[in-house]
Amino acid sequence: MNILAIESSCDETAAAVVEDGVTIRSNVIASSAAMHAKYGGIVPEVAAREQLKVIIPTIDEALKQAKTDFASVDAIAITVGPGLIGSLLIGVETAKTIALTTGKPLIPVNHVLAHMYANFVQNEQNSSRAQSRDHIGKIEFPAISLVVSGGHTELFLMESPKKITWLGGTLDDAAGEAFDKTARLLGFENRGGPAIQESAARFQLDKSRFKTKLPRPLLHDGSLNFSFSGLKTAIWREWNKISDIDEEMTSAFAYEVQEAITDVLVAKTMHAAQKYAAKSIFISGGVAANLRLREKMQDAAEKKSVKLFIPPISLCTDNAVYIASYAFFRGASADWHTITAVPNLSVEIYL
């Protein structure tokens, strides 16, 4: 079954064709990141206007790369939320138009839940069916899934590809938000988590000079919830105490920020894995691209003899591949008349 998926929840415009939920036939992303850089962040109206220009060419390119056409596609999958309302509308209305004119089933997708299905996909584009079956055959249930991004930090229990239960999430700000705001504070503008990672990797400062110890929020409270608002405040307070700021000090501070955030993410995920006797752990979302998080999660999973699945970095950030995979494994088609963009769509919807 070939699914054409469309994703336009934020500033990216993406389309992909995925076979049977696991085999990537095409994956096309049109990014407007460079355009937004001069504004210091995403401007919703600018993002929507750019998406209006590129969405049809992006879909056409996805079909071309997959060597297929609308007639050979079995269904259309579309992100309906959460996200920026203008951006969502571009994708939703385009998908509805395609469904109307082609008669293909239209499957609405919750973007947050879909992230975890990036772990179901065979990483290599145009891989064989045998390779794809072998990849997904390695997944064992029950699984704990951490979805961590700029807007979400959520833990789920997945008992099967269809059965998902929400376990806990952030009470305020997401982990990615903490990375983004720290990057701005340290002078990295809108480069966010990648800038923190790059700076932290250069940390070689004598620890006798750098003594800052940031809090690890809710680390030992026994819950499966997160809270990064207080950490953001602590980061601002401790950074402003430093009088001798230079590149080495900045790298040391970035390292401590990264350690604080990833310590919490790993500890909470492993607590959930132990509580629910998980056989597998999934990590997904933009923050899943963080190399330190990957390293620490791998070490923790090996100690507990739990399988760890993390998508390649290219599938951590917004793309349409995991939208298609979710639609295949868990989605249900709906009358296109009833489908609408929902910017504040909660994780509970579609559970």
Neighbours of 298 (CB within 10 A): 15
Write the CA distances from 247 to 178, 259, 307, integer angstroms. Answer: 21, 18, 38
Give dist(CA 152, CA 146) in Å, integer.
10
pLDDT digits (tens, 9 = 90+) for 163-184: 999 999 999 999 999 999 999 9
Tell me the mean pLDDT in the region 247-259: 94
* C-alpha count within 13 angstroms, C-beta hemisphere, residue 166: 15
Instruction: Decide if pLDDT at 201 tops 60.
Output: yes
**Confidence band, pLDDT 50/70/90 cuts, at residue 54:** very high
**CA trace torsion 19, 15, 80, 351 (10° rounding):** 30
**CA trace torsion 78, 99, 334, 169 (10° rounding):** 0
pLDDT digits (tens, 9 = 90+) for 312-349: 999 999 999 999 999 999 999 999 999 999 999 998 88
Between 276 and 191, the more confident residue is: 276
Instruction: Decide if pLDDT at 247 tops 80.
Output: yes
Instruction: Decide if pLDDT at 35 tops 60.
Output: no
Give dist(CA 346, CA 351) in Å, integer.
10
Give dist(CA 149, CA 288) in Å, integer.
8
SS3 138: coil
Tell me the mean pLDDT in the region 222-241: 96
Residue labelled with tokens 């793309």: 319
| Cβ-proximal residues to 210 (8 Å cutoff; 6+ apart), any chain | 249, 252, 253, 256
Domains and CATH numbers, the chain: 2-123+313-338 (3.30.420.40), 143-309 (3.30.420.40)
Lowest mean pLDDT among 105-114, 285-294, 340-349: 340-349
Tell me the mean pLDDT in the region 253-282: 97
Instruction: Decide if pLDDT at 205 tops 70.
Output: no
Cβ atoms of 49 and 87 closer than 8 Å? no
How is 12-57 classified by DSSP, letter by letter? -EEEEEEETTTEEEEEEEE--HHHHHTTTS--HHHHHHHHHHHHHH
| Full-model pTM | 0.93
Residue labelled with tokens 């003899």: 305
How is 215-246 classified by DSSP, letter by letter? --TTTTSSSS-B--HHHHHHHHHHHTT-SS--
Between 281 and 127, the more confident residue is: 281
Residues 29-50 as b or e (16 or more Cβ within 10 Å = b): bbebeeebeeeeebbeeebbeb
Instruction: Decide if pLDDT at 268 tops 80.
Output: yes
**Confidence band, pLDDT 50/70/90 cuts, at residue 45:** confident
Instruction: Decide if pLDDT at 158 tops 90.
Output: yes
At 134, the amino acid letter reads: D
Beta bridge partners of 97: none
Instruction: Report the percentage of the chain scoring pLDDT > 70.
Output: 92
Say what the pLDDT of residue 244 is. 85
Instruction: Decide if pLDDT at 36 tops 80.
Output: no
SS3 173: coil
Give dist(CA 144, CA 108) in Å, integer.
24
Say what the pLDDT of residue 37 is. 62
Instruction: Decide if pLDDT at 284 tops 90.
Output: yes
Report the chain's mean pLDDT, rounded to a whole number.
92
For residue 82, cis peptide bond before it (omega within 30 degrees of 0): yes
Lowest mean pLDDT among 11-15, 82-86, 242-246, 296-300: 242-246
SS3 319: coil
Cα Rg of the chain, angstroms = 20
Beta bridge partners of 110: 81
Tell me the mean pLDDT in the region 5-28: 96
Say what the pLDDT of residue 328 is. 98
Tell me the mean pLDDT in the region 88-100: 97
SS3 206: coil
Say what the pLDDT of residue 134 is. 64
What phi and psi, each to the nearest 5 degrees, are found at residue 6? Answer: -130, 130
Say what the pLDDT of residue 226 is. 97
Say what the pLDDT of residue 204 is. 76
